[in-house]
Each structure stands twice: as structure tokens, then as C-alpha cells.
């Protein structure tokens, strides 16, 4: 089962301005955001990343570029990021580009907060949060299967996306209804970790903004006897295990 790193883009000019960026073109990382993703690239240098898939929006492209700019273990070159529109931000329709403090006065704000599975953003370009979650889950599930087929079950790969999108993916992995996803925090340049098995997902980390990532390095492939015993794929270790 490959290890998926869900990476949120670094802080942007829209984040600091309190504006809902959505699919607004030209929204870039600010100075702190650039520093955040540069640090993330260094943290991830210990990982043999097999694939990087990113939202098409510029702030995610910058984040993916920072990750792949740092060589992997033993100076290994990183893969070129691949764009998948399904990892793009939720399409907020007529809310796009507006200040959050103004949107908080809209009647639908409480729907988004309390009952997001019923939220459909206004305007011809507006998307439902259910549709956003469905497309994002399709993307990560399909890429995870592809990474497993091409690079093996111990491969590590990265999906670079946005706060609401990652929260929706994590809610599904945690077995939570979309209406609970606002309880999850996903900060700029954070890493969350999911492994998909045939029977259930496992969530290894949520909103890691500075931890050591070396614990995610796959074990050396030296044959079955050299590797630590594991529970059958998809089974949780009774008692919690050693790691």
C-alpha cells in the first residue's frame, strides 16, 4: 500500500488578505509561503518520492516545484509534477475573490459551516462540496493504484492541493461524514498522510507542519526475512503496534 502525502500549498497573498481565492488566476505564495515550502522540500529530502501530482493552480504549482527542487536520498532526481484538475480548489462561484468577513454574513455561510454536504456555491461556476469531495477522492484513489502498479506497494507519492480539498479527503479516510470535515485543520504547507488498503484507509498524520518525515521512509527491500513482521494488509495492529 503506497504512502500518500497530502500537501497543502504554502501561505498566499489571498490568505493574508482574508480573501477567498478559489480559482482566481495569479494567486501566488507570499514571502512566508515561499519559506514554508522551501522548508518542506528540505524535510521531504529523506523520502524517495515516486510521483508528485498537483492542482493546476499557481500556488500549488509553486509548492510542487519547491518539493521537487530538492534532490531525494543519495541525490536522486525528483519526478516532474503532473497536473490533475481534480485536485483543484473547490469552485466557489460568485463567492470567489470576496472577503471572508463579508461572506460570513451570508446565509449560506452557516450551511458551509454546519451542513457542508448541502452546500452548493452560487453562480454558474459554483460547485457543490459533495462534488468537490467526489472528484478529489477519484483522483487520489486512481493515482494511488497507478503508483502501486508502477512503483510497488512501498512507494511514497505526493498530492499537492488546497485546504478544503484535503480536509474532504481526510474526512473520507477517517470514516467521517463530509458534514464533520470542518473539524479538521489543514494549515499552509502542512503534510497529512494516508495509506489506502483493500479494506480501509489508514491515516498516519494530520496537519504536520514541522515533524520529522524520516519515519515515512519505506523499509529496505532485502527479502521477506529481513523485514519486520506486519499485520495482514488492511488489518489494524491489535494493541497499537511498535510504530
Q: How many domains does the chain have?
A: 1
C-alpha grid cell, residue 220: 529496505
First-last CA distance in the chain: 17
d(Cα 158, Cα 148) in Å, to the nearest integer?
13
pLDDT the model gives residue 240: 64
d(Cα 45, Cα 35) in Å, to the nearest integer?
16
d(Cα 190, Cα 5) in Å, to the nearest integer?
10
pLDDT the model gives residue 192: 98
3-class DSSP assignment, residue 204: strand
Asked if residue 243 belongs to a domain, the reply is no
For residue 195, give every residue at least 6 positions away whose Cβ sits within 8 Å of its Cβ, in sequence order, or none: 1, 2, 3, 4, 201, 202, 204
CATH number for the domain spanning 19: value is 3.40.50.1240
Q: What is the pLDDT of residues 75-122, one digit of tens each?
A: 999 999 999 999 999 999 999 999 999 999 999 999 999 999 999 999
Asked if residue 96 belongs to a domain, the reply is yes
Locate cell 500500500: which residue? Answer: 1
pLDDT the model gives residue 220: 83
Q: What domain range includes position 108? A: 3-211
Question: What DSSP state is assigned to residue 215?
Answer: G
pLDDT the model gives residue 221: 73
Asked if residue 223 belongs to a domain, the reply is no
Low-confidence ranges of the chain (pLDDT < 50): 224-229, 231
Contact of 17 with 203, CB cutoff 8 Å: no
Asked if residue 228 belongs to a domain, the reply is no
Asked if residue 44 belongs to a domain, the reply is yes
Locate cell 515550502: which residue? Answer: 37
Asked if residue 216 belongs to a domain, the reply is no
Q: What is the pLDDT of residues 170-185, one digit of tens each?
A: 999 999 999 999 999 9
Asked if residue 241 belongs to a domain, the reply is no
Measured in whole angstroms, how far is the alpha carbon of residue 107 from the centre of its chain? 29
pLDDT the model gives residue 242: 61
Asked if residue 85 belongs to a domain, the reply is yes
Amino acid at each position: 500500500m503506497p504512502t500518500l502525502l497530502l500537501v497543502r500549498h504554502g501561505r498566499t497573498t489571498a490568505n493574508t488578505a482574508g480573501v477567498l481565492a478559489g480559482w482566481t488566476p495569479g494567486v501566488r505564495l507570499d514571502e512566508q509561503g515561499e519559506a514554508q515550502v522551501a522548508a518542506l522540500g528540505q524535510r521531504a529530502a529523506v523520502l524517495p518520492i515516486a510521483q508528485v501530482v498537483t492542482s493546476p493552480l499557481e500556488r500549488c504549482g509553486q509548492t510542487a516545484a519547491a518539493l521537487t527542487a530538492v534532490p531525494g536520498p543519495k541525490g536522486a532526481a525528483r519526478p516532474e509534477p503532473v497536473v490533475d484538475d481534480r485536485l483543484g480548489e473547490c469552485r466557489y462561484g460568485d463567492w470567489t475573490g470576496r472577503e471572508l468577513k463579508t461572506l460570513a454574513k451570508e446565509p449560506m455561510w452557516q450551511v458551509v459551516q454546519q451542513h457542508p454536504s448541502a452546500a452548493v456555491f452560487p453562480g454558474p461556476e459554483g460547485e457543490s462540496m459533495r462534488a468537490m469531495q467526489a472528484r478529489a477522492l477519484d483522483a487520489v484513489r486512481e493515482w494511488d493504484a497507478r503508483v502501486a502498479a508502477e512503483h510497488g506497494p512501498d512507494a511514497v507519492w505526493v498530492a499537492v492541493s488546497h485546504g478544503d480539498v484535503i480536509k474532504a479527503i481526510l474526512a473520507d479516510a477517517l470514516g467521517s461524514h463530509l458534514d464533520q470535515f470542518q473539524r479538521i485543520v489543514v494549515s499552509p504547507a502542512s503534510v497529512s498522510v494516508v495509506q489506502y488498503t483493500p479494506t480501509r484507509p489508514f491515516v498516519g498524520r494530520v496537519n504536520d507542519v514541522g515533524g520529522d518525515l524520516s519515519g515515512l521512509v519505506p523499509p529496505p527491500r532485502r527479502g521477506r526475512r529481513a523485514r519486520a513482521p506486519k499485520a495482514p494488509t488492511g488489518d489494524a495492529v491489535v494493541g497499537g503496534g511498535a510504530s
